[in-house]
Amino acid sequence: MEQYLEQNKSIRHELLNTVSNLSDEQLNKEVEEGRWTIMQVLHHLHIIEDGVAKAIQYTLKKGEKQSVKAKPIELTVDRTTKIKAPSFADPEAKFITLEEMKDKLKESRNTLLQVVSSSDKNQLKEKAYPQPIFGLMSLEQWVPFIGYHEKRHIEQIEELKEKL
């Protein structure tokens, strides 16, 4: 589990570096009609991480033990397949500063870390929660999924930056 948390930490660092030289105006600028702004991508990442942390917490309390095969979650970074975010994960179209978003991202990461560090590692392996693309996934796999998901969106942010 530690390696997943370290990997997520490294990817989060990369994510924040990707946007660190942009102004709040640039981060909130719509560069293509119908596409998210860079800030909306960041907001989406916060929503997903927060949701995953809460799903893990809920499933640990209420979920049954289930045997599930490991999913190829590393494919999450492959952007050749466009995936529509579930509606609950759609970001708001409102102006948010980078400082505000960094606070939100720190908050969702702390929630995830708290849930994972206080959990029985066997239960993380034995319990599962459905993922829209991969289907039923062990709670343990949800942790590195967060990092892969952020990595996927770093590529999207780079594309949006080129259009600024």
The pLDDT confidence band at residue 84, using thresholds 50, 70 and 90, is confident
Whether residue 103 has pLDDT greater than 90: yes
**Residue 2: C-alpha distances to residues 42, 67, 157 (Å):** 24, 22, 27
- Output the pTM of the full model: 0.96
CA distance 51 to 54: 5
Contacts of 100 by beta carbon, 8 Å cutoff, 6+ apart? none
What value does the CA radius of gyration of the chain take, rounded to a whole number of Å? 16
Contacts of 41 by beta carbon, 8 Å cutoff, 6+ apart? 91, 153, 156, 157, 160
Nearest to 24 by CA among 112, 115, 111, 94: 94
Q: What is the mean pLDDT of residues 39-57?
A: 98
